[in-house]
Structure 1
Amino acid sequence: MDYRNLEIAVARGVATIWLNRPDMRNAMNEALISELTDAVRAVGADTGVRVVVLGGRGKAFCAGADLGWMKQMAEYSHAENRASAVELARMLNTLHTCPKPTIARVHGHAFAGGMGLASACDIRIADPAAEFCLSEVRIGLVPATISPYVVQAMGAAAARRYMLSAERLTATEAHRIGFVHALCEPGAIDAAVDRFAQQLLGAGPAALARTKQLLDDVVDRPVDEALLEMTADVIADVRASTEGREGLSAFLEKRKPAWEGA
């Protein structure tokens, strides 16, 4: 697929997907959503890719929804609005369930749907000048499709506050409440992203994918007999897998596992 709203660069196992509408602060419209869904699926299926980075060209990560698209949606029927919302929901879920670990490289504004994009990623790294905002209620809307990822990323209590108040969060505050995992030094976001990417490249690719699935499987579940059985099955399957055996052998033999030389 040829992308008009994205750039993709792959180097040494890391695929960087750039939102590339800098004149619109990378605001989302139906075309960008469709392209991003396709791009994340493609890099997720690429065996040469082991880490995915999502960033934005220009002065912002993503300012939310494109104003022109919002004007169009105001004229949509309920059915048309629902179909459009489903496409956005599917894109976010595709990003969240990507089998490769994902890093949000956040600079400038990450507002509304842009904050949803960051939330759907596994790790969020921010420039100290970045700003976040769940601004939907200010214009009479609801952060519905992004809500599952925002709540998981910042916790229910913080999500309740910021979804209702539509306050802006500085990068420092977002880091303090745990939404942002790491703040870089000014002008050093690419170096910070690379450090995290290199850390992830040291892990087993299958183990990372299974751990991502495990996190969704155990979050908010009661620790009952079914959960105990499920987690026991997971570790038993992984220990018996080719990657699991290679990792354990490498550890015991004090050598690097095969995937670190891939």
Structure 2
Amino acid sequence: MNFKFIQYDSQDRIAFITLNRTQKKNALNAGMMEELREAFGKAANDEQVKVVILKASGEVFSAGADLEYLLELQQNSYAENLADSQRLKDLFLQIRSCPKIVIAQVQGHAIAGGCGLVTACDLVYSDPQACYGYTECRIGFVPALVAGFLLQKTGEGKARELLLSGELITAEQAKACGLVNYICGEGKLEDEAGALARKLASETSGASIAYTKELLAALSGLSLPQGLELAAELNAKARMGEDFKKGIRAFLSKEKPQW
């Protein structure tokens, strides 16, 4: 699979999806979004992949939408802009619903759509000098597609503050509000994110992760009884799988399961 705007590699059961438009500060355009969808689809369907790391080449994670791309959008009809918005929505949802653990590895700026990519990931490792922001309101855009994901991570109060102000926040501020999970030591971003990915790849059941992510994605839209019913159904499905049998055999034998 040949990509123009991203890179895709896999090793040690980890897929690495790398934004690779350094001359454009890894800004998003239609081509990059389509390639990201292809790459996440490839990782999701690869039985040898347990964890996905989304990262970027260069000094900036992503500056948001490409300026040429924004100029093109001004010429679009409503139907064309709706179709384009749907494609970005599908990408965010694909990242969030990926059956594998998705880790964002962020250096430099992650702004607007770039910050949206980060928000859709399960876990976020950040360089201490990185900054984050949803700056759409400053250029007449609406940060609509990321709002639901941000609400789940930060709660309504902080989401309102970030989306309505368009202010950039530091890595420490992003961690304090729940957007970032880990801030790495200076120069240790790749090592620390990679270490977690390898640990998760070797110590967690792929089937369990997929079922857990399915449950978490559904819970916010369900009542408590509905959520518990879904949990019971997924629990029953997991008990019928090979991962459950392997895990129980290892537990009873006082051994570590080989995932």
TM-score, scaled relative to structure 1: 0.95
Any stretches of 5+ residues in structure 1 without a counterpart?
Answer: none
Match of 1:206 in 2: 207
Match of 1:215 in 2: 216
- Matching residue's letter, 2:211: R
Aligned equivalents of 2:231 and 2:42: distance in 1?
Answer: 29
SS, match of residue 55 in structure 1: strand
SS, match of residue 60 in structure 1: coil
- The structural deviation recorded for 1:220 is 5.3
What does residue range 52-201 of structure 1 map to in structure 2 within 5 Å?
Answer: 52-201=52-201
- The structural deviation recorded for 1:8 is 1.2
- The structural deviation recorded for 1:222 is 2.7
Aligned equivalents of 1:46 and 1:228: distance in 2?
Answer: 30
SS, match of residue 258 in structure 1: coil
Match of 1:22 in 2: 22
SS, match of residue 224 in structure 2: coil
Aligned equivalents of 2:148 and 2:2: distance in 1?
Answer: 30
Aligned equivalents of 1:89 and 1:213: distance in 2?
Answer: 18
Aligned equivalents of 1:229 and 1:81: distance in 2?
Answer: 39
SS, match of residue 16 in structure 2: strand
SS, match of residue 146 in structure 1: helix
**How many pairs align?**
258
Match of 1:34 in 2: 34
Any stretches of 5+ residues in structure 2 without a counterpart?
Answer: none
Aligned equivalents of 1:110 and 1:86: distance in 2?
Answer: 21
Aligned equivalents of 1:227 and 1:10: distance in 2?
Answer: 35
- The structural deviation recorded for 1:58 is 0.5
Residue by residue, what CA displacement relative to the aligned partner does 1:82-130 show, whole Å, maximum 9, x if unpaired?
A: 1111111111111111111100001101000011100111001100000
Q: Residues 70 and 183 (structure 1 numbering): CA distance in 2 closer, same or farther, change over 3 Å?
A: same
The alignment's C-alpha RMSD in Å is 1.2
Which consecutive segments of 4 or more residues in structure 1 shift more than 6 A?
none
Match of 1:238 in 2: 238
Aligned equivalents of 1:62 and 1:160: distance in 2?
Answer: 22
SS, match of residue 99 in structure 2: coil
Aligned equivalents of 1:37 and 1:234: distance in 2?
Answer: 27
- The structural deviation recorded for 1:80 is 1.3
Range that drifts further, 234-243 or 52-61: 234-243
Residue by residue, what CA displacement relative to the aligned partner does 1:148-192 show, whole Å, maximum 9, x if unpaired?
A: 222222222211111001111100100111110000001100111
Aligned equivalents of 1:155 and 1:110: distance in 2?
Answer: 20
Aligned equivalents of 1:120 and 1:89: distance in 2?
Answer: 11
Range that drifts further, 196-205 or 176-185: 196-205
- The structural deviation recorded for 1:74 is 1.1
Aligned equivalents of 1:42 and 1:130: distance in 2?
Answer: 29
Aligned equivalents of 1:81 and 1:233: distance in 2?
Answer: 39
Is the CA contact (8 Å cut-off) linking 2:115 and 2:133 kept in structure 1? yes
Aligned equivalents of 1:99 and 1:155: distance in 2?
Answer: 24
